[in-house]
Structure 1
Amino acid sequence: MNTKISWLLTGLLFTILWSSAATATKIALLDAQPLVVAVCRFGIAALLMLFIAHGILRQKLPNRIELKQLAIYGLLNITIYLGIYVIAMKEVTASIGALTIAASPVFISFLSVFVLKKPISVQVLLALLICLFGFVVVAWPLFDGVSVTVKGLILLVSCMFSYSAGTIYFSSKKWDRLHLLTINGWQTLLGGIFLFPIMLITYKSGANHFDKNFWIGTIWLATLVSVGAVWLWLKLIKEDAVKAGLWLFLCPIFGIIIAAILVKDRISWHTFAGVALVLSGLALSQYEKRTETPME
């Protein structure tokens, strides 16, 4: 297949799958508690990835030091980030969830200022403020106590800082000995194990009906998002990291379209204005990265 066509198809498929995560989560949450959905998702995804990594590809098992690193990464990236994210999604729309995921590079740029001790720039601070304002604009007409709550929006924004911390932690460690599928499988498994006791404590049998909605949403998240979309993303950044980042600009648009079609999210001028703001913040963040690269 032509290289350009292959690149376009890979990027388009990644965008659709990555953008579908918020809607799939909302579908799974129709008849189940958030942490039940999360633990089942992580369990299925981890077992699938580890089976492929160790059972089929015969990749090396992590050693004790690597397991410690994977545990920390899983705690930040799975237990805290996705644990809080799935709880927040109970109280916000799929559209807002999709917007937040798409804006993750902005949060990473902002948090790296503190973790990596870089001086804060006007671009990074402005990008974060623009994105936050964009979330509020989209959510404003939905603050009716049902579609969107202040608590849900705060949880959603807060969990992005844990995701950013996990990304920065991952980039600061050496993983040369381990296959990427091994890393993702183990951090998902360990993160899910850390979340399991909390799920048991909060479990309410009457709130969970393992029906069609639960299994469609959960299996979609476990296979096509946790495994499929991540693999496609790694494929894209391996070919061209800068060009790969451009696909993130399509994620808010696809996410809102998918949410409108499948879970009937409302679209208004607030939606378009909020998306424009988030995209502007993301563009400003990407510009900041490009201008800093030659100096590093």
Structure 2
Amino acid sequence: MDIRAMFMGLAFALMWSSAFTSARMIVADAPPLTALALRFLVSGMIGVAIALALGQSARLSRAQWRATVIFGVCQNALYLGFNFVAMQWVEASLAAIVASTMPLLVALSGWLIFRERLAPLAYAGLIAGIVGVAIIMGHRISGGMDLMGLAFLGIGVLALTFATLSVRGASSGGNLLMIVGLQMLVGASLLAVAAVALESWDINWTPRLGLAFAYTTLVPGLLATWVWFLLVARIGAVRAAAFHFLNPFFGVAIAAALLGESLTLWDVAGVVIIAGGILAVQMSRVARTT
């Protein structure tokens, strides 16, 4: 892995993790599904416009169209939709921790559903991840954590896991920014329907809302997704996914710094164990492909 790939991976992890804090700011002043639909509409239009200006085409391969639709539905509409709704009731740090378990769920699903053989290091990583999650959830549930919010976070990360398992070939064949933009528009269309059916237009216009919306739209929404596809195209999905072990650290740290969310020693211990489990699983996959 070269230096450029390292910086791309670190940048992606930081941008991806920061989205939970900015989302928490947004849902404090705006209905979650409406805000998310608008975010994807703006991000998608910008992404498609830039892609066209760069000479990219919407003539995608069959695998790319499949990836575009699946990620638009599962990642943008379901995963982020449930996360935005949940963050009306749960802290951004918890949302970041739950979402960061996706690599563990992918490995666990591959073992249980597809009968993939795992290396001993991967089994150790799965066990560590389960222990870390149990530590954090046990402590927070006893402290009165909202169980409906937790359930929504769980549904969201399962949708993201399904998308990750289902899609292959999205980063090959070029037109990466076009794919990113079209995914955003797919998510926007589905979320708009849900927002009209379930929410009222009740927004508290504040400077923080404007800044958080602009940041979420441009940085985690558009730039991070584009960087992810470039990283996968450069070093492969297995090696790129290793950077997910940074997400629990970054997500919790950013939420604590910007939102003042409190952290206990149980939270810190759980985050360290989960991150170690993710790293072990991903390193075992890297070793298997070399």
Task: Give TM-score, length-normalised by structure 1.
Answer: 0.83
Distance 1:273 1:44, change over 3 A: same
What one-letter code is carried by the residue in structure 2 that aligns with 1:107?
L
1:70-129 deviation per Cα after TM superposition (whole angstroms, max 9, x unaligned) = 333311221111111211222221111222333321122223345645357776666455
**Aligned partners of 2:102 and 2:157 also within 8 Å:** yes
What one-letter code is carried by the residue in structure 1 that aligns with 2:40?
F
Q: How far has the Cα of 1:42 moved from its partner? A: 0.9
**Corresponding residue number in structure 2 for 1:236:** 231
**Aligned partners of 2:123 and 2:281 also within 8 Å:** no
Amino-acid identity (%)? 23
**Corresponding residue number in structure 1 for 2:100:** 102
More deviation, 41-50/84-93: 84-93
**Corresponding residue number in structure 2 for 1:221:** 216
Q: How far has the Cα of 1:247 moved from its partner? A: 3.2
More deviation, 260-269/107-116: 107-116
**Aligned partners of 1:80 and 1:162 also within 8 Å:** yes
Report 1:20-99 matches (<5 A).
20-54=18-52, 56-62=53-59, 67=65, 70-99=68-97
* CA distance, structure 2, for counterparts of residue 12 and residue 63 of structure 1: 29
* CA distance, structure 2, for counterparts of residue 151 and residue 128 of structure 1: 25
* CA distance, structure 2, for counterparts of residue 140 and residue 72 of structure 1: 33
1:36-87 deviation per Cα after TM superposition (whole angstroms, max 9, x unaligned) = 2211111111111111112x11212236956565333311221111111211
Structure 1 residues not aligned, in runs of 5+: none
More deviation, 24-33/122-131: 122-131
* Counterpart selection for 1:15 from 8, 13, 17: 13
* CA distance, structure 2, for counterparts of residue 151 and residue 93 of structure 1: 13
**Corresponding residue number in structure 1 for 2:146:** 149
**Corresponding residue number in structure 2 for 1:211:** 206
**Aligned partners of 1:74 and 1:191 also within 8 Å:** yes
Q: How far has the Cα of 1:154 moved from its partner? A: 2.2
Asked if 1:253 corresponds to 2:218, the answer is no
SS of alignment partner, residue 90 of structure 1: coil
What one-letter code is carried by the residue in structure 1 that aligns with 2:226?
W
Q: How far has the Cα of 1:230 moved from its partner? A: 2.2
Q: How far has the Cα of 1:264 moved from its partner? A: 0.6
Report 1:83-232 matches (<5 A).
83-113=81-111, 116-118=114-116, 127-128=125-126, 130-143=128-141, 148-171=145-168, 173=169, 176-206=172-202, 208-232=203-227
Distance 1:235 1:187, change over 3 A: closer
**Aligned partners of 1:62 and 1:178 also within 8 Å:** no
Structure 2 residues not aligned, in runs of 5+: none
Please report the RMSD computed on the Cα atoms of aligned residues, expressed in angstroms.
Answer: 2.9
* CA distance, structure 2, for counterparts of residue 215 and residue 245 of structure 1: 32
1:136-171 deviation per Cα after TM superposition (whole angstroms, max 9, x unaligned) = 43344444787x312212221221121111122221
**Aligned partners of 1:106 and 1:124 also within 8 Å:** no
**Aligned partners of 2:30 and 2:204 also within 8 Å:** yes
**Aligned partners of 2:31 and 2:201 also within 8 Å:** no
